[in-house]
Structure 1
């Protein structure tokens, strides 16, 4: 029996959430996509539900109430999430953002692509290691 993959997307843009969920569904309909609308909502969920350990966390950088850098810093303080990959999912392609977020503990960085097919390809690359170990 295959273990279900849980992806946690933290992004304040409803359209981006919908496109991301659609891309995951294209890869594998059994992947669960849970969303939070900003860093504060995400941290509340992660702190309140200690059993919630997603397989992957995808984090937007540019959010209003708490930006992605602040959220990433707080996520990395949670011992039970030390091994959970955090992937930045942002419109920014600035090298300084990539370098800074990796120094804060991000495992990977995805620039939001212009098409869903490109997003599917990039997500498959990120998820491949996890899927092969199941």
Structure 2
């Protein structure tokens, strides 16, 4: 997937979290295009629109109104046109059963939203670096959680 600009799509209902994510991306200076949506319904509308440019990676919050992140990933992974898009779960939750379920249904990585901006930059840097690598393989369960 090594290309000039990595196209990221962030689905998160929390404006502050979307802003922090954007600022962190700006500070790590990766050449990316970032689009954001406010909830799961907007995410699916975006992905299923006729004019959609599929992102290289989706960063997906779990706890959103209208349609949860879990509902979105199940819908994405069951759609032949969308299932190839890697998904990084980006959530405050760290419930082991939920994390295991997300791995099993096809999420690529899991990031628990960090408590500091420095840690946020570190995990986003790690995730973006992984996806800039054109030989990225589906991670083992041991490598599923990205931590600062």
- TM-score exceeds 0.5: yes
- After superposition, what is the alpha-carbon deviation per residue over 1:92-123, rounded to whole angstroms, capped at 9, x for unaligned? 01111211111121111000001111111111
Residue of structure 1 equivalent to 2:22 = 21
1:80 paired to 2:96: no
Residue of structure 1 equivalent to 2:90 = 89
1: CA distance, partners of 2:20 / 2:51: 28
Residue of structure 2 equivalent to 1:126 = 127
Which runs of 4 or more aligned residues in structure 1 lie more than 2 Å from their structure 2 counterparts after TM superposition?
A: 77-83, 129-133
1:117 paired to 2:118: yes
Match of 1:93, SS?
coil
Distance 1:95 1:79, change over 3 A: same
Q: With structure 1 as the length reference, what TM-score do the two structures score?
A: 0.90
1: CA distance, partners of 2:122 / 2:81: 29
1:46 paired to 2:44: no
Superposition RMSD on alpha carbons, in Å?
1.8
Distance apart, 1:49 and its partner CA: 3.7
Match of 2:106, SS?
coil
Q: With structure 2 as the length reference, what TM-score do the two structures score?
A: 0.82
Distance 1:3 1:79, change over 3 A: farther
The correspondence of residues 91-106 of structure 1 with structure 2, limited to 5 A, is: 91-106=92-107
Q: Which runs of no fewer than 5 residues in structure 1 stay unpaired?
A: none
2: CA distance, partners of 1:65 / 1:51: 21
Distance apart, 1:51 and its partner CA: 4.2
How many residue pairs get matched?
133
